[in-house]
Structure 1
Amino acid sequence: MARQHGLRVVLRHLYEAGTPPAKRFRYALLGLDVLSIGWIVTASFLPLTTFELTVDVLLGLLLLTEFGFRIAASGVPRRTLFSPLNLADLVAILSLILAPFLQGAAAFLRVLRTLRLLHSVRLITTLRSDLPFFRRNEEATLAAAHLLVFLFIMSGVVFETQHRTNPGIHNYADALYFTVTTLTTTGFGDITLPGITGRMLSVVIMLAGVTLFLRLAQALFRPVKVRYPCPACGLERHEPDAVHCKACGQLLNIPNEG
């Protein structure tokens, strides 16, 4: 029991602490996520072979181990396990491990792992404290990241639902091309998704894409503000050079780079 408690303390430190080793650990997890995403894209260009299925299973087992560590590090493991994002992450991991049995039929579920990149509060905190560019442009960076993740997920859905029957979709690059042209309403027409399902998927891409574009534009052109909770009223967004809170007049001490 004491050994299990000690392991939980170590894991919680790695996932939540602000020490250099803990930050390096979380950056390594980010690298693991990027590696898994890169493999998902690369695999779409490869024929389904024993090698590809073996890599899927090994990568899935590695991610499942990290998932178990993450749940164990939580103070409320059961609640953490059944959170929507972690359930989506688990489904994506299982789709890798079960790849030999699924034979690619549910491979697009693996793109759900990209959601973790955007919803890890500790990772965002790490990026904000380590990277001045991220601190200054946090909202625009997150809006752009949401748009990129949407592109990646929808391209994965288009690829997995179309490449077996649609002559215009041969690999992930074709699916990404269609998604971008649809999202931007360019619509060259050289690739289309036939049938009611294909048309509805195109509608979703267009509507959601316009919303994400507007959010990105709003973040880019909105006056730059910094996040610093006012100790009196709790207002978080202030002008970079603010001395007093505009809501209550409380004296602020916003850290700056000089």
Structure 2
Amino acid sequence: MTTPTETSSYLGKPLDGWRLKLFTIIFEADTRAGRLFDQCLIFAILVSVAVVAMGSVGAVADRVGIWFEVLEWVFTLLFTAEYVARLLCVRHPMRYALSFYGVIDLLALLPTYVALLVPEVSALIDVRVLRLLRVFRVFKLTAYVQEYQALARALAASRRKISVFLSAVLMIVLVMGTLMYVVEGPVNGFTSIPTSVYWAVTTMTTVGFGDITPKTDLGRFIASCMMLLGWGTLAVPTGIVTSEMASLRGAPAPATTRTCHECLTEGHLPEARYCLHCGAHLSPYFRDIP
């Protein structure tokens, strides 16, 4: 009978030697090398996004544009090396490549290379628009900041309540939009039910573009009720998420950044032997920082 370790070795490349050390540095942060890697990566992401933002300022780009190009290639090569390193040190490279952060990593790399390969001709969309996708690098921050993860857990825990709330809002705007179509009619700008629903959405969210306004007294009364209702509606999702965050605050946080080699789930206890998500056998835990 095969052991869990022997069985998992048939499912992907085993992690040992330099690949295990690289995995520990990149995917875990309970060692000095892992913590330093995360800190350097966060700094590189923030600077690269700042370069993209400043490169869109014409006066600045005209003066130091060549340095922005150099920095962009430096960051692109740096993130390319990081992406390749992640693929090399995981047991299932394709699984990581198709994951959320794997796709974000790829989106952070492609624009620069595509801009190099695709000529800027009038028949194609301006490559500069595609290069703006480099801002997706900022999403990589969510993998390294614990507060992002806490917010994600609160949103996930409240997703059913928020879904019910959004369903109720959609029903309200549909009913009120239809009612305004009947009350005001095409003569006052409510030319169709979809147009009236659009007015209801802008009124409910207290945006009020003003391109469509009720003219009758009854229509203005309905609009006033929707505006007042909108103020209360805005507070509901905030209260839901805040309540979930308060309840999760008392729950024990993940003890470590120890990551499963199979499914890349982190947060396992130091003494855990198997993954809490997929049940795969965990390698020994490494930690050298308090």
Could you say which TM-score interval applies, normalised by the shorter chain?
0.3 to 0.5
Superposition TM-score, scaled by structure 1 size: 0.47
Using structure 2 for the length normalisation, give the TM-score. 0.43
Asked which structure has the greater CA Rg, the reply is: 2
